[in-house]
């Protein structure tokens, strides 16, 4: 199995896991009671969507970057809208802001890593 295919499967599994975290009424159940510490708790969305953007950019080949940005921003709004419908969850503009910032930072970081690796190894 190529590393790119493994990266694609990892990204799919991560999206499913992230969606479960975002849609469960109490995500601590999925994490066996674990929750982010107070230091990272305020940035949980930023961190999780940074990783999502990073994985997507590393695995991106055929589709344009704008396509993936649109898809990820759509995913951000869609998950927040679903949270508004769910009990105990709510729509939060601050979550959307953190999600979009995390996506941009993740895409940018992965792109920078790819550029550095291309210059260093090729």
Residue 18: count of CB within 10 angstroms of its CB: 16
Interval 54-108: pLDDT, tens: 999 998 878 888 999 999 999 999 999 999 998 888 899 999 999 999 999 999 9
- Contact yes or no for 103/52 (Cβ under 8 A): yes
Nearest to 68 by CA among 98, 96, 108, 107: 107
What pLDDT shows up at residue 41?
55
Residues of the chain with pLDDT > 90: what percent? 48
Quickly state the pLDDT bin for 112 (edges 50, 70, 90).
very high
Report the predicted TM-score, pTM, of the whole model to 2 decimal places: 0.84
- Give the mean pLDDT of 23-34: 65
């Amino acid at each position: 199995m190529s590393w790119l295919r493994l990266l694609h499967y990892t990204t799919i599994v991560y999206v499913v896991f992230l969606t479960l975290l975002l849609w469960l009424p109490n995500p601590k159940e999925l994490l066996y009671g674990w929750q982010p510490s107070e230091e990272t708790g305020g940035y949980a969305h930023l961190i999780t969507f940074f990783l999502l953007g990073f994985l997507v950019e590393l695995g991106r080949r055929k589709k344009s970057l704008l396509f993936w940005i649109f898809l990820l921003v759509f995913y951000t709004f869609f998950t927040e809208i679903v949270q508004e419908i769910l009990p105990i969850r709510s729509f939060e503009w601050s979550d959307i802001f953190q999600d979009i910032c995390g996506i941009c930072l993740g895409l940018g970081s992965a792109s920078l890593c790819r550029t550095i690796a291309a210059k260093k190894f090729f």
